[in-house]
Amino acid sequence: MKTSRQRVLEYVQAHYPVTAADLSQALRMTEANARHHLAILQGLGLIQPAGQRHPREKGRPSRLFMPSEKSLGDNLDQLAAALLEMVKEQGDASNLDFTLQALAVRIAQPNFSMVAHQDNRSRSLTHRLTNAVQRLNQLHYQARWEAWRGAPRLILGHCPYAAIIDQHPELCRMDAYLLEDLVQAHAQQTSKLTADSKGALHCIFRIEEGQKQRSM
């Protein structure tokens, strides 16, 4: 059975732009309840403001809402999968590896600067790891690093490519190249989507100073 909030979201998606009064009439709930659900859905990023509806006579305008892009969804995972298939079909394994490395560099540093790149290499591993975590979290990896026996580990708490990773495991290799570009050290994946004690999935990469990885 659908919750009231699910019904509100579905109504907004089907009939936008809508007001709390529209929801109240269509779903048989009070306007106060409708506003409550709208506020929560907006906080979750599932709907967004769409201007105001002015009354025909005197009175306060009503706020209008519409679905967000997040709520409506997209085809980015299908697009990414199709592009990867095209790359694989047009070349051999070495060509794919080169493409993955090039993608990793572009993702790591969209505004590449050789001076900044060289400056990063001169910093301590701890500093590079800290900076890497900041960039990875901008990319939605939910990353952190921790000291470990022999070498630090970078832990990725979220896979941004979860929708297509089963069909394209080579993206794990791209992640390794991404980490190497950010940290300027060898990255070796030691765990892939493994559950922790709380059941949350994560990937782990061992980070070692030395020659950068060229294959996995």
Same domain, 26 and 95: no
Same domain, 106 and 167: yes
The domain that holds 9 is classified in CATH as 1.10.10.10
Q: Is residue 93 assigned to a domain?
A: yes
Residue 188, both tokens: 């070796």
CB 65, CB 16: distance < 8 Å: yes
Same domain, 182 and 82: yes
Residue owning tokens 């048989």: 28
Same domain, 21 and 60: yes
Taking only the tens place, the pLDDT of each residue in 162-205 is 889 999 999 999 999 999 999 999 999 999 999 887 788 899 99
Quickly state the pLDDT bin for 112 (edges 50, 70, 90): low
Q: Which segment of 34-48, 148-162, 163-177, 200-214 scores lowest on mean pLDDT?
A: 200-214
Q: Is 72 a residue whose pLDDT tops 60? A: yes
The domain that holds 132 is classified in CATH as 3.30.1380
Residue 53, both tokens: 């509806």
Q: Is residue 136 assigned to a domain?
A: yes
Q: Is residue 216 assigned to a domain?
A: no
Residue 190, both tokens: 């030691």
Domains in the chain: how many in total? 2
Q: Is residue 214 assigned to a domain?
A: no
Residue 13 domain boundaries: 4-72
Q: Is residue 67 assigned to a domain?
A: yes
Which amino acid appears at position 140 of this protein? H
| Threshold 0.75, pTM exceeds | no
Same domain, 85 and 67: no
Q: Is residue 213 assigned to a domain?
A: no
End of a domain among 36, 56, 72?
Answer: 72
Residue (of 168, 165, 111) closest to 135 by Cα position: 111
